[in-house]
Structure 1
Amino acid sequence: MSLDTVENAAATPDTALPWKELGLKEDEYARVREILGRRPTGAELAMYSVMWSEHCSYKSSKVHLRQFGEKAPESEAMLVGIGENAGVVDVGQGYAVTFKVESHNHPSYVEPYQGAATGVGGIVRDIIAMGARPVAVVDPLRFGAADHPDTKRVLPGVVAGIGGYGNCLGLPNIGGEVVFDACYQGNPLVNAGAVGVMKHEDIHLAKASGPGNKVILYGARTGGDGIGGASILASETFDATKPSKRPAVQVGDPFQEKLLIECTLEAFAEKLVVGIQDLGAAGLSCATSELASNGSGGMTVTLDDVPLRDSTLTPEEILMSESQERMCAVVEPEKVDRFLAICEKWDVIATVVGEVTDGDRLEIFWQGEKIVDVDPRTVAHDGPVYERPLARPDWQDALQADDAGKLPRPASSAELKDQVLQVISSPNQASKSWITDQYDRFVQGNTVLAQPEDSGMIRVDEESGLGVALATDGNGRYAKLDPYAGAQLALAEAYRNVATTGAKPLAVSDCLNFGSPEDPAVMWQFAEAIRGLADGCQQLGTPVTGGNVSLYNQTGEVAIHPTPVVAVLGVIDDVARRTPVAFKEEGQLLYLLGDTKEEFGGSAWSEVVHDHLGGLPPAVDLERERLLAEILISASRDGMIDAAHDLSDGGLVTSVIESCLLGEKGARLVVPDGLDAFTFLFSESAGRAVVSVPRSEELRFTDMCGARGLPVTRIGVVDGDAVEVQGEFALPLNELRTAHEATVPALLI
């Protein structure tokens, strides 16, 4: 077949191209023709198809995501916001931290190990591209029913991929969560987050400025794996009858990525880089068009110079390949030799593939012929924007009317005790140590807190003890009942989890996982969740710095629960003053902070005991969340509390049992006046935490809570080798440990 050049495209307007097979709609293809004033070449079609995919262009979500900018709270900490590879915040002492969460959902179902591994690799490259050294990763995960045979296929592969890649990079995995629900059966959610640290002056951006500057592609060779992988695979509902929507998943090489990290950081240290972009979804199409469109001019690229693993690749395949461990740097001509020398030192392949021009076009050549001639903005930024129809689902009212309050409650102390054991041994409340033990949580020696703590914490500066904390949370059951409140509850829980460790919440990243945007009910859920999250961040003063939208998470007509995952980053002046989850000292007093109400909609109890989802989720009071956080941070800083644990899924009894098991200390609990034992133990009211207080600090602590207007109730004492609820039951720690730790291994081994 003869080469499809720009000249040929202009001369043969009626040549048929496979735009539909590449995921473009008819009107989108017509728009490409209108932009170019002719039909696209095959190479141009490849670029537009991947860059205008849902995964890359956010065409269905842009109109809603604008709220994060329009409602953004004032923040002195924000250094780089939405639009770059990752957000950057000031954490003090001249340090900046970059963090982001992304999705690799569909690839991880097709090929669990490589899908998850390359998800870690991709998010780490986003962090490197900002100029930072990656210091930790987190992984919020959702799988199908724990006892479903396919979960046994998907989960171990995903966990092995995350552990294998992250452990080889030498990055501690400090947080995340694992949730099981039948709604994720054919569509697991594999979200990956990363944190990086740098000095303010080391921030780098994705832009190609300066005519004559060279464009250098470096890292792994380009292969046929992942051609259109994440970009097209994540932009269509799963359907086994469409193999074209299941292209090869990218293959990761963590050792190559480790070399890429060190090589890039050395080049940064020597001030050799003008602009930089990692090659993730959409590969070279994304890197060249984004660098050019964000810079001051145009760019020419010679595709023949791209190092290949497979010499049979066509130009279209080279442009669409999502092969891993690759980056693109813009370097001044006089610094190119030094840049290449650093790459050679680290055994990283590096090739000059292009040059920044003073024009406004992205021109790509193959075998001496021009095969791409586009305005790079039209590829990278001017894709379609849809205001898709949205409608509150007709089943929403009935779902909310099906209140969990009608469910039969335990009729005796023995039944109450039995239900406590049912909940804490259920897959979602049981210990996930079988999973997290496969991750290295303490490599590099700066991990201060890691799973199963409320948030991970990393020391940033050895001398001062400056540190950052990161928590990710999301509850699809709450969001199914009310997506606005569900998104705010995810934000509130992550915010609370950061504060319980003693860190001050600063900023937010998100990973918004939803079904097909072509379903008006899903778009309503999405719009409501965005509105809730934007309103919540505005009220709490925590700006959204960036994130990810993952749509088409459904199999056939069945969508997942709307699952907005929220990551909150916090800062702590001295990690030595952190507060852990574990109860450690006999005789310390246990206090419940916040109000407990009859709130069981979407609760763990309703799911485990009654297999029920209905009613309304717990009410959200963000001012109460802010006050609770202030109390927890002050108490941690001033040494008033020795342990703290937020109350969320599973209620107070789950949190107390977890703290007892981690500290190997029992607790005696007394049901407060005005509450029955069932509500006390299982309610999932938000804005609450349980703390252990040394007796010497009791008066100071309760006075502080009283002065600030936070309800505080003494509920017991750390004591013995059982969890005892006075007048109801006692459960020995060894029995609780067996119930809590045996579930997940039994399901997966």
Structure 2
Amino acid sequence: MRPEDWRKMGLRDDEYKRIKEALGREPNHLELGMFSVMWSEHCSYKNSKAVLKTFPTTGPRVLQGPGENAGVVAIGDGLAVCFKIESHNHPSAVEPYQGAATGVGGIIRDIFTMGAQPIALLNSLRFGPLHDERVRYLFEQVVAGIGGYGNRIGIPTVGGEIYFDPCYQGNPLVNAMCVGLLETNKLRLGKATGIGNPVILAGARTGQDGMGGATFASVELSEETEAPDIQVGDPFTEKLLLEACLELIGNGDVDGIQDLGAAGLTCAVSEMASRGGTGMDVELSKVPCREEGMTPYEIMLAESQERMLMVVSPEKEAKVHAVFKRWGLTSTTIGRVTEGGMLTIRMHGEIVAEIPAHSLAEDAPVYYPEAQEPAYLKTTADLPLATIALPEDYNTVLLKLVASPNIASKEWVWQQFDYQARTATLVGPGSDAALIRIRGTKKALALTADCNSRYVYLDPYAGGKIAVTEAARNIVCSGGEPLAITDGLNFGSPEKPEIYWQFQQAVAGISEACRVLETPVTGGNVSFYNEANGEGIYPTPVIGMVGLLEDATKYCTLSFKAAGDRIVLLGESFDELGASEYLALIHGRVQGKPPALDLSKEKALHRVVLSAIREGLVRSAHDLAEGGLAVALAECLFEKGIGARIQLSSNGLRPDSLLFGESQSRVVLSLSPEKLPALEALAAQEGVPFQVIGETGGDELQITVDGNQRLNLSVAELQAAWQGGIPCHLS
């Protein structure tokens, strides 16, 4: 082997030496390829593993935490929710439709591999500014790919988030989340157990697409980057595979099961064997291939979609094949589980690779990259408020904010998704969280995905905390109790000390918030090397959160429901304009610190809002986020067309801070006047600031501050700006 051989595959010189030590000899070309994909950052987490171990991952409800295909949390009545988020960033930058579609397909397989029926999809997307023609193409095709796969397989896409910023222009982010439901006794893991048990490969035939995809995802994008052939998804085959696998799991016919995603067959056989403390003997000539003459290297490393590997007992082998045949799918016994922990790969009986499974799956080096606070924080942190000019026309500011693509209606996106598939969607896209009924029970699940990456860029620790609490507020405002999270950690190159410092700090912030809110991390995904031509994205740790409503009838949405209701603001406002959408959009400044966050106050707010919803005190609840109080109030008007008259006291705050600042731990509620005393008592009990700020009615949003009218806009004008914010860039 020459140094260029392993370096071309993304392996370092010291890693090649480690491979030789593991094998006791020089690897052949196939073995080197297998190590290159399994020891890539994408598969091995070699630069992130040490930091990820600091996450809180246990709790009374957690049935399966990190280390499997997805996390699993108990929800009572013998049921559990299975969920995970993963990225498909690099493929989507190259071929956006298939990159997004196969990202959806892959995360769905992670869920039904665990024995869960997928019931909902969400997504978290990032793009450059929409005035750019290439960005518009990526945006439109990614959305089409998500809808094209999810709609055809019959799983509703019910929520998510989308942001636009120049930092994502050359490297969009496409994170897909899937949620499934299972009976706790049907949980299956990706382990190969039972010496002599058959190993069955089922689903689509293996082609040459996606070769080296795991390695491709572990380098930054540039004009010189060699992209593989992007995988092509087939949702109809995946639907058949889903039904066949769930039938087999439900009947107890499968001992272990693993989907084939990144690193293809190499990953599936090595991880299953390593987890089970076993080996495998695999015959590649039995693998059904799309192309004639495929080499062992191609068969082992291809990332063709819609494939599943399973281990079954000998007496179930014929039955398993019969079930796949009935569903119109190919299945083949390609090997056996062996003792001793060795992966023996053959072609027509001849051994072409022999590697300890544990070496591939678990023995990648763990790195501790240098971390250093970025120099830019020394200049961005300081934000003298006196340097920010007060608006001359607050109406114009609010109209610009609601029309900003980061805040504007995402209806252009979600109208392309079948969010009512399976007919269990209680609340779909457009509210704080999506709600899915659990059939046969009184329960519902609340689902959301959140991250303000500008906050994380300007203070990774605070931004990480806020990402968790924002997700939790969305769950709570919908009536759900936050249960647990999955994270999609999108960052630049870990080889740059400033990027790695961002990563460490963001993980620390997420961890602290999860400990206080008692929402353990059940799994997720790290995506490094999100850079284009040397420039990294904003650090973007997306939080996917699941919550539980014990009574699905006691849910809440953000819209005002009736004229004459009182409007209450819970929480406290401060002179905080740093990192805000207002500061970036109106003043062109990405500067300052994110808003301060007190986790004990946040938790107290959750208790008040949840109690108010469960006791039937409030008709609507909406958390304050991008754009602050004025934007939150505007968003409450649109569904029913009911206006609001608001009277605020500045209490020494700047008017723009009061209206557009993004102070944390705040919620707007509406309720009938006679229920005010009960709500005020709840807030007082928890020490949560309580203000009656106005009432619903009319067809305008009128806001006075200290008796001076600052805003007076018709609901129709606001809604037109809000609804047109994205389509106006695409026409």
Common topology (TM > 0.5): yes
> Structure 1 residues 378 and 715 mapped into 2: Cα distance closer, same or farther (>3 Å)?
same
> Structure 1 residues 16 and 600 mapped into 2: Cα distance closer, same or farther (>3 Å)?
closer
Pairs within 5 Å for 1:559-638: 559-638=536-615
**8 A contact 2:3–2:13 mirrored in 1:** no
Pairs within 5 Å for 1:717-732: 717-726=695-704, 727-732=709-714
State the partner residue of 2:412: 434
State the partner residue of 1:197: 181
The residue matched to 2:529 in structure 1 has which SS?
A: coil
**8 A contact 1:206–1:275 mirrored in 2:** yes
Q: Matches of 2:398 and 2:650 in 1, distance apart?
A: 21
State the partner residue of 1:532: 509
Residue 322 of structure 1, aligned match among 303, 310, 319: 303
Q: 1:358, CA displacement in angstroms? A: 2.1
State the partner residue of 1:19: 6
Q: Matches of 1:738 and 1:164 in 2, distance apart?
A: 28
Q: 1:297, CA displacement in angstroms? A: 1.9
Structure 2 unaligned runs (5+)?
Answer: none
Deviates more, 1:489-498 or 1:535-544: 535-544
**8 A contact 2:90–2:171 mirrored in 1:** yes
State the partner residue of 2:663: 685
Q: 1:676, CA displacement in angstroms? A: 4.9
Q: Matches of 1:147 and 1:242 in 2, distance apart?
A: 26
State the partner residue of 2:691: 713
Residue 38 of structure 2, aligned match among 36, 44, 51: 51
**8 A contact 2:575–2:654 mirrored in 1:** no
State the partner residue of 1:37: 24
Cα deviation 1:25-48 (Å, max 9, x = unaligned): 111112111111111122211111
The residue matched to 2:423 in structure 1 has which SS?
A: coil
Residue 272 of structure 1, aligned match among 226, 235, 253: 253
**8 A contact 1:403–1:614 mirrored in 2:** no
State the partner residue of 2:622: 645
Q: Matches of 1:460 and 1:590 in 2, distance apart?
A: 32
State the partner residue of 1:3: none
Is structure 2 residue 451 aligned with structure 1 residue 474? Answer: yes
State the partner residue of 1:744: 726
> Structure 1 residues 95 and 405 mapped into 2: Cα distance closer, same or farther (>3 Å)?
farther
Is structure 2 residue 159 aligned with structure 1 residue 175? Answer: yes
Q: Which amino acid aligns with 1:731?
A: L
Q: Which amino acid aligns with 1:136?
A: A
TM-score (normalizing by structure 1):
0.95
Cα deviation 1:647-698 (Å, max 9, x = unaligned): 0111111111111002221111111351454222101001111011122211
The residue matched to 2:484 in structure 1 has which SS?
A: strand
Is structure 2 residue 278 aligned with structure 1 residue 297? Answer: yes
Q: Matches of 1:564 and 1:613 in 2, distance apart?
A: 19
Pairs within 5 Å for 1:449-488: 449-462=427-440, 464-488=441-465
State the partner residue of 1:120: 104
Q: Matches of 2:328 and 2:554 in 1, distance apart?
A: 42
Q: Matches of 2:43 and 2:186 in 1, distance apart?
A: 27
Pairs within 5 Å for 1:41-440: 41-68=28-55, 71-72=56-57, 75-229=59-213, 231-243=214-226, 246-403=227-384, 406-411=387-392, 415-440=393-418
Cα deviation 1:346-392 (Å, max 9, x = unaligned): 11110001101122211110122111111101101111111111111
> Structure 1 residues 15 and 409 mapped into 2: Cα distance closer, same or farther (>3 Å)?
closer
> Structure 1 residues 403 and 222 mapped into 2: Cα distance closer, same or farther (>3 Å)?
farther
State the partner residue of 1:5: none
Identity fraction in percent = 44
Q: Matches of 2:438 and 2:386 in 1, distance apart?
A: 46
**8 A contact 1:672–1:713 mirrored in 2:** no
Q: Matches of 1:633 and 1:15 in 2, distance apart?
A: 63
Cα deviation 1:10-58 (Å, max 9, x = unaligned): xxxx577721111111111121111111111222111111010111100
Q: Matches of 1:400 and 1:15 in 2, distance apart?
A: 49
Q: 1:394, CA displacement in angstroms? A: 1.8
Q: 1:461, CA displacement in angstroms? A: 2.9
Q: 1:402, CA displacement in angstroms? A: 4.1
The residue matched to 2:336 in structure 1 has which SS?
A: strand
**8 A contact 1:136–1:173 mirrored in 2:** yes
Q: Which amino acid aligns with 2:34?
A: M
Is structure 2 residue 655 aligned with structure 1 residue 661? Answer: no
**8 A contact 2:383–2:578 mirrored in 1:** no
**8 A contact 1:174–1:450 mirrored in 2:** yes
Q: Matches of 1:347 and 1:669 in 2, distance apart?
A: 62
Cα deviation 1:180-217 (Å, max 9, x = unaligned): 00000000000000000001101100100001111000
Q: Matches of 1:403 and 1:199 in 2, distance apart?
A: 55
Cα deviation 1:571-614 (Å, max 9, x = unaligned): 10111110011111111111001011111111010011011101
Q: 1:403, CA displacement in angstroms? A: 4.7
Q: 1:622, CA displacement in angstroms? A: 1.2
**8 A contact 1:121–1:254 mirrored in 2:** yes
Alpha carbon RMSD of aligned pairs, Å? Answer: 1.2
> Structure 1 residues 676 and 555 mapped into 2: Cα distance closer, same or farther (>3 Å)?
closer
**8 A contact 2:650–2:658 mirrored in 1:** no
Q: Which amino acid aligns with 1:100?
A: K
Q: Which amino acid aligns with 1:20?
A: R
The residue matched to 1:444 in structure 2 has which SS?
A: helix
Q: Matches of 1:508 and 1:729 in 2, distance apart?
A: 38
The residue matched to 1:20 in structure 2 has which SS?
A: helix
The residue matched to 1:630 in structure 2 has which SS?
A: helix
State the partner residue of 1:671: 648
State the partner residue of 1:8: none
Pairs within 5 Å for 1:544-563: 544-563=521-540
Q: 1:409, CA displacement in angstroms? A: 1.5
Deviates more, 1:234-243 or 1:522-531: 234-243
Q: 1:146, CA displacement in angstroms? A: 1.9
Q: Matches of 1:678 and 1:297 in 2, distance apart?
A: 63
Q: 1:619, CA displacement in angstroms? A: 0.7
The residue matched to 1:19 in structure 2 has which SS?
A: helix
State the partner residue of 1:508: 485
**8 A contact 2:43–2:262 mirrored in 1:** yes
Q: Matches of 2:315 and 2:582 in 1, distance apart?
A: 66
The residue matched to 2:163 in structure 1 has which SS?
A: strand
TM-score (normalizing by structure 2):
0.98
Q: 1:416, CA displacement in angstroms? A: 1.1
Q: Which amino acid aligns with 2:215?
A: I
